[in-house]
Structure 1
Amino acid sequence: MSISALERPRPVHRAADLLAAYLPGSFYFSSARGALLADGEHARVRAGNGAHALAAADALDAAAAAGIPEPVVAGAVGFHPAAQAALLVPSVVRRADAPTDVRAPGAESGTVRTVTPRPGTAQYTDGVRRALERIGRGDLSKVVLARCLELTAEAPVWVPALLARLVGADPAAYAFAADVTAPGDPAPRTLVGASPELLVSRRGATVVANPLAGSAPRSGDEALDRERIARLRESAKDLAEHAYTTAQVAEVLGRFCVDLDVPAQPEVIGTPTMWHLSTRITGRLAAPADPACSALGLAEALHPTPAVCGAPGTGALAAIADLEPEDRGYYAGMVGWTGLDGDGEWAVTIRSAEVCDRTVRLFAGAGIVADSDPAAELAETCAKFRTLLRALGAEDVA
């Protein structure tokens, strides 16, 4: 009597083993929910007009019919609604518990040769002022403006070591590495990062979203950090910024859920470099079998949230296109996985970089609202760069 693929016991792996086995070209994703390492390409998921969830459902059905055990769709989608995507059904998937036993290699200092800001600091603060003029006219309520640092290293950047340092620094983060190589790239390109922000996860009929908006740098001094947390909780500017995001996420999930729990006040959560206002929204799906209610379908419906775009979305997208000189690529997009049953987990691709040979492109953004101060918003982006710069051994270049 044969045992079906779904009835076979899963191999047991340690998260540290999966991380050690990662090589460029693989897909890695870990969170407090667990770790996943995917290799090979059974099928590429291609969709027009951003309809990735339907294409993914078809690809998963075909993979199951072809005998792929417990198939998943994994990868990343860029920021813009019609942006590039790198989604596939891997040939092999290994899973482990959440990473807690990672020993990461130390960062090599002095390996960054050049740093090119796009835009420069003066141009960025000028962009914030221009955004404030639009907000003052009533064109929009919030817009997230990002800036880029392009780093050139002395030698090709070894992504497995960079990923291990990111996971080791914050095992609870949504850590990821996805191949996003595009035609014309001179070498393989990898999207790698450690995001604090869950876009959406699904287990059965239960969905969770955890938008973050409103931030303060972490100092490392316990007394000063207590003060910053207290100020963040009471900041009218940050609370307003957060409210735009929470309201939209709740409105979108409400279309799919019969029950939705939205806390009245945000909490404050911390990463090694930042404090963030956080609201954990939970719901129960009305139609879990609908491909639109898969983890990827819900992620598509939510993306991009005001946390990385603005409000209203159409006006914010137009402002970003006008005020940001550098295309975001996969920054502020989404990365994760969805299984045959619709379950999965997708994170917002912040605290991320695109690595191609010796070149590393980092992005960081700040939410601009009526009370924003250009210098403070610039300082916020500098603080957010620290996650990747620290892992690269180049924390002093921002």
Structure 2
Amino acid sequence: MKIHTLSTGDEVHRYQKSIIIPFQEDRKVLSTSVLNGGYSEKLKAAFNHDSNPGEGMTCSLRTDSYLNDLKLLAAEIGLDPETVTGISTAASMDNVSIKTVSYDNLTVTAIVTGGVEVNGGRVGDPASYHEAQGKTVMTKEGTINIILNIDADLLPGTLTRALVTCTEAKTAALQELMAGSNYSRGLATGSGTDGTIIIANSQSDLKLTYAGKHSKLGELIGLAVKPAVKEALFLQTGLCPKSQHSMLRRLKRFGITEDSIWNKHCDLGEKALVKPLFIQQLEILDREEELVALTSLYVHLMDQADWELISPGRAAQEGKAIADRIRQKYGLDVEYTYCWQSAEETITGMLENFADLTARITTVCSD
């Protein structure tokens, strides 16, 4: 099924859980794939494949390696494994986002699928495996895959710079959504398995030598990739500004969840509420605009202390002011200590206090 026609004339097809782009003419391709990855001028097609076997089932290799899996897949969808490059994901190809932007005679199209709810991470997070120890299988699924088509002729180095700009655009989209890492308390910069394929039109009369942010090409890459990543994430998992307007989602990367707040409630020494009623009230508070705003400020204080942009003492002082404002709003007479030395102690203490405060205001509102 044809779902789009690129400005180059190449058609984008969805077939057997794959998105396939056969090239009508010679193209320059830069791919992160293990299948004919790197730079090439000899490829005939590119594809993105949904390898998810079904809801609740884990993606697994069908051969002895990921490379051979991609070769097998290419053959199954009617492509020559020797002349194609491809990437795979657990995201559905039905949830693809295609965004095209143009300026003068330059056109850029981003074709994106993605999900970060399970495998979103921040660069530098603890790794899942080390190939030198014979392990090559990721422990979690979730991938942002981008196929970027540029209707201009680029030098190999320019294609490589376009990959950098494309990656920056992806990370900017995640930053604007405040998507958290699943492996640390940081904000996500991507997933652990992201793949990118960049295709340039070597038949074009338009010759470009730079793809950085100062160039019009760099601007168009950002304008295509950023909204495409956001839309793909929304289509796949519902991630969007509305879903992120949540106290709990801002706290998730710090380990504060419905269950941890419930446990705090049980530890208060008071008569425990019925858990479903407690959670129901917590869900109401979770979307309360003032609480979401104050939680966001509180979280950012911890981030800034973590990044050494403000001192732990200042983070604690301003955090106490936010906690006091919430405490007074709900008529709580409990007092919290905000006096620690290191950034790590400050963040741990601020989280402990905020979890306790959230449990208390939920209890008060449940009465």
TM-score range, shorter chain: under 0.3
TM-score with structure 2 setting the length? 0.27
Higher helix share: 2
Structure label with greater radius of gyration: 2
TM-score with structure 1 setting the length? 0.25
